Amino acid sequence: MSAHCQLTGAKPGFGNRISHSHRRTSRRFDPNIQRKRYWLPSEGRHVRLTLSARAIKTVDAIGIEAAVARIRARGVNV
Phi, psi of 76 (to 5 degrees): -100, 135
| Per-residue pLDDT at 65 | 96
| Per-residue pLDDT at 2 | 77
| pTM for this prediction | 0.86
Is residue 67 helix, strand or coil?
Answer: helix
List pLDDT tens digits, range 33-48.
999 999 999 999 999 9
CA distance 30 to 18: 18
